[in-house]
Amino acid sequence: MTTFDGFTQSDFDAFEEQKWASNAFNLERLEVKLKLTALGKALVAELDSELPEQEMGLTEERPSIFNQHKVDCMTLYFLRNEESRHELGMILDKTKSIAEHVNDPALHHRHINLAVSIHSRGVDAGLWLHKNAWVDWNNLVERCREYWERDNLSDILKSLPESIQYCYGESMRPDTQAARDVSTEEVIDGFSKAGFWSIFGEAIPRMDKDLASSELVARLSQLLKILVPLHTFIGWRRDNDFHQLKEVLKEQKEKAQRKFSSVKPGDEVRILKGLATGRVGVIEALERKGVVKVRLGAMLVSLKIDELGKP
């Protein structure tokens, strides 16, 4: 599929509750995934000019560890690129236990993102911020400690059209209020209550005619572009750093480089993170950017130098 021509009613039916945990409906959901891919490609060029260095991703169509073994929706998302994610990963990883990583390994939960989610009720689209994306939402909290920054956030919210709603919880709800009517205090306080998501966006019911045509591309493109100033205000970047993380990242990079230079092929190392935690392996090769190939019996794995320790 190269072009997006719209969703059908059967696409929404693929996410009925009785199908969530069953692999029998993987083919139905794969058809939806192909349509989401085509939709995403149609949106990429538009978003790239507004938010450079963003990457497109899609959630799984099969029940797996990545979706808690149920597919109640599928999400097309745009978030910071791999290089930026790797840089922040050293900080994000330290805030969660191994068990937490296993229970929720979803990539788009860790970074602010613009997204389109399809489920049995229709489509939700907008700016999504998960509780695990703490670098981003706490960046906003720190930024808004200054009263003039609260005024700036208020101006952004008031500029949003009436159709864009704000809510927090597991998904968008029908009783949500217009984002333009929400105070900055409510938004900031909402992060501590979100449970899962803080969402600024639009819920489009499955019978909306735009969902069944290529007109949806233009509609979603306009919606996501409107949310770019809010995304830019909230999201952590080196030029929007209210955590003072730049020095932390610099220090960690230098520490990793020192550690990288202290090992060589043939050295034994103990794995400190991931499913192989505690196992001892042998360094096979050193690669660029602090990545080490480690042999565990017949298996060869690539790991970051920070994930290794003395045997």
- If DSSP codes are grouped into helix, strand and coil, which group holds residue 156? helix
Report pLDDT for 96. Answer: 52
Domains of the chain: 9-243 (3.30.930.20), 259-309 (2.30.30.30)
244 pLDDT band, cuts 50/70/90, is low
Among 186, 177, 114, CA closest to 154: 186
209 pLDDT band, cuts 50/70/90, is very high
- If DSSP codes are grouped into helix, strand and coil, which group holds residue 235? coil
- Does the structure show a pLDDT above 80 at 16? yes
- Does the structure show a pLDDT above 60 at 157? yes
Flag whether the pTM goes above 0.85.
no
Higher-scoring residue by pLDDT: 79, 251: 79
CA distance 266 to 187: 53
CA distance 116 to 75: 6
- Does the structure show a pLDDT above 70 at 102? no
In what helix (H) or strand (E) does residue 100 lie, and over which residues does it extend?
helix 98-103
Q: What one-character DSSP code corresponds to residue 3?
A: S
Report pLDDT for 271. Answer: 87
CA distances from 109 to 74, 78, 147 (A): 14, 12, 29
CA distance 187 to 198: 8
